[in-house]
Chains A and B, each alone.
Chain A
Amino acid sequence: MSNLICLFVVIPLFTAFLIGILYKLHNSVAETLANVCIFALTCLSVLFISQVAGNNALVYKIGGWIPPFGIVFVIDSLSVLMLVLVNTVSLFAVIYSISYMERYTSKPYYYILFLLMLVGMNGIIITGDLFNLFVFIEIASISSYALVSFGIQHEELEASFKYMVIGEIASTFILFAIILLYAWGGSLNMADIAFRINSDSLGTANSMVKFVSVLFIFGFGVKAAIVPFHAWLPDAHPSAPAPISSMLSGVLIKVLGIYALTRVLYSVLGITPVIQNVLLTLGAISMVAGALLALPQIDFKRMLAYSSISQVGYILLGIASGNFIGITGGLFHLVNHGVFKSLLFMDAGSVELGTKTRKLNELGGISEKMPITHGSFLAGALSIVGMPPFNGFWSKLLIIIGLAQSNHTGLALLAICIAVVTLAYYLKIERSVFWGKLKEGLQFVKEAPFSMAFSMIMLAIICFVGGLLYFHPILKDAAQVVHQGTAYANHLLK
């Protein structure tokens, strides 16, 4: 089974280049190949769930080199949780693209870039080597810069340039941190570095870890759009085509930002109370600032983008709370946010496709014209504000309980208050887009085509039943991986 791990990178990479060769044969070659490839990846990731039960970890050694020397791919419960999320969201995004991308030219390039972005994300999740992590981050980032500017209109280019300059400076800092770690420890294997930091005999590890942690928090913080580093997100995410917005907000900021940060800080460097407090502060600031900045927005997708910043703050608070329930809540919210934020961006894309505008003051009363879009938007919005049967409620509840248990009562109360603010701005969208009287000029609005409607309905169903994930052992196993910290190394070096 561990030989199959490399397929998560090989299949999309191979398909991307296959599309590049074959797309001239027929119009639908590109989308067919992309859909089949991502469907296969989703099935493969679901297959791995049973393999890692009970905190088992699978290791694939590239070229047969033993771990500290060669590059390894590692799959543990946290990786599988992320793989299932990433590939499922990608599957629905790529199904959604079939109809949505009709109005763009050069669709094959879109699918090639989409698959390369997926290569990067899958690679980040499964790699066990720090430099390899950097390479995959760059693959995912470069494809996302190109995808943000895909429409090559004024706004897209401006957003892409801003995103690219900020994102690349962050990547360079990540590289710098990785090289510093190599210079100190003489190894790039994550488990090996964790082991060397733990068994440090010279006493130099402590100061080095502090310095490197700062660089990593900056680098991954930019990728995750945590608040002092968030300036690119509200421009980049709304400018991209809708399926790409949903991929960027739904999974890219989590894989490149939150997952990589968690893996490096918790499993490799080892978390300290100081770093934990830094993360808690950053999380709280993101949560508050994102929500308050979202309130006055008049652009549908821009408001959703600010909402992403706020929800990333929740995830960070959960993961940094330091106790098991909080970490479970953080990871649970990460999965849930991936599902409902991609759903909400797909709804925004569907509204934009139907009405040709995303300004909230030009829209109104289209709920009768677009019942499926409205219904699925309602499911997503109810999840994100935390209404009981939907998945968002359970994860926010776990985060708040986790914060209260580790004596951060103030932050727990703040999280509850921000949930109310979240409700306020989703009510604003609901009121000005779907409810009320139909605005002039919107009489001929049609419902989204089949493939878009299908993706939205499926994601809405996942939002509704997603709360049941709490009872699946994979979530607790994943939280266990984060909670046990540098004991991650033992899986690989035994």
Chain B
Amino acid sequence: MLPYVFCIILVGIGLYTVLTKKNLLKIAIGFCLVEYGVNLFIVMVGYRWNGLPPIMLTPDDKTLFVDPIPQALVLTAIVIGLATTAVLLAIVVRVYKRYGTLDLTELKRLKG
């Protein structure tokens, strides 16, 4: 149970960072934390205590295996996370070039 609590705490820290920090890079870091929390949760879901790698030697092998599907899913999720982080950081760099600052409160051209 404890590892799941750590996942939730990680997501919570990430959400807190996104909601309260004023620096664009810190928001990006907070977003990554949320993502890592969920990725960790995916890995947890597939893990079996004392489980072996899922290689069946005979068709009716009754050994306890870890679940391989979440491992495949988490790889995809990590790659997607890489893409989103890259786009997010690219936008942050462009914002810095335009506004000359990373302070979120300076970005206030759009309102209404």
Contact = CB atoms under 8 A, between A and B. Distances in A.
A165 B27 contact: yes
Q: Is the interface of A mostly helix, strand, loop or mixed?
A: helix
B110 A152 contact: no
B49 interface: no
B45 A146 contact: no
B92 interface: yes
Interface in B67-112: 69-70, 73, 76-77, 80, 83-84, 87-88, 91-92, 94-95, 98-99, 107, 109-110, 112
Contacts of A298: 112
A161 B107 CA distance: 10
Contacts of A234: 112
Given A135-B76, A142-B83, A297 B70 contact: no
B94 to A, nearest CB: 5
Contacts of B27: 165
Contacts, number: 86
Nearest to B72: A131
Given A165-B31, A169-B15, A175-B77, A182 B91 contact: no
B109 A169 contact: no
A176 B91 contact: no
Interface size bracket, A side: 35 or more
B41 A297 contact: no
Contacts of B92: 161
Contact of A179 (B73, B95, B107, B110): B73
Nearest to A141: B84
B27 to A, nearest CB: 6
Interface in A150-202: 152-155, 157-162, 164-165, 168-169, 171-172, 175-176, 179, 182-183, 188
Q: Is the interface of B mostly helix, strand, loop or mixed?
A: helix
A145 interface: yes
Interface string B26-55: 010001001100100110010000000000
Contact of A168 (B24, B31, B77, B95): B31
B56 to A, nearest CB: 15
B84 A168 contact: yes
Given A168-B31, A168-B84, A179-B45, A149 B91 contact: yes
A146 B109 contact: no
Nearest to B111: A235
A87 B73 CA distance: 30
A297 B31 contact: no
Contacts of A171: 84
Nearest to A146: B87
Given A169-B15, A302-B112, A157 B84 contact: no
A158 B31 contact: no
B87 A142 contact: yes
Contact of A160 (B35, B38, B91): B91
A239 interface: yes
Contacts of A183: 45
A430 interface: no
A138 B80 contact: yes
Given A158-B107, A239-B110, A164 B73 contact: no
Nearest to B41: A179
Contact of B99 (A142, A154, A160, A239): A154
B95 A161 contact: yes
A186 B109 CA distance: 48
B84 A179 contact: no
Given A131-B73, A161-B24, A168-B88, A149 B109 contact: no
A299 interface: yes
Contacts of A172: 34-35, 38
Interface string A300-335: 001000000000000000000000000000000000
Contact of B109 (A138, A154, A176): A154
Interface of A: 131, 135, 138, 142, 145-146, 149, 152-155, 157-162, 164-165, 168-169, 171-172, 175-176, 179, 182-183, 188, 234-235, 239, 296-299, 302
Given A149-B94, A154-B99, A176-B38, 4 more contacts: A145-B91, A152-B94, A164-B84, A302-B112
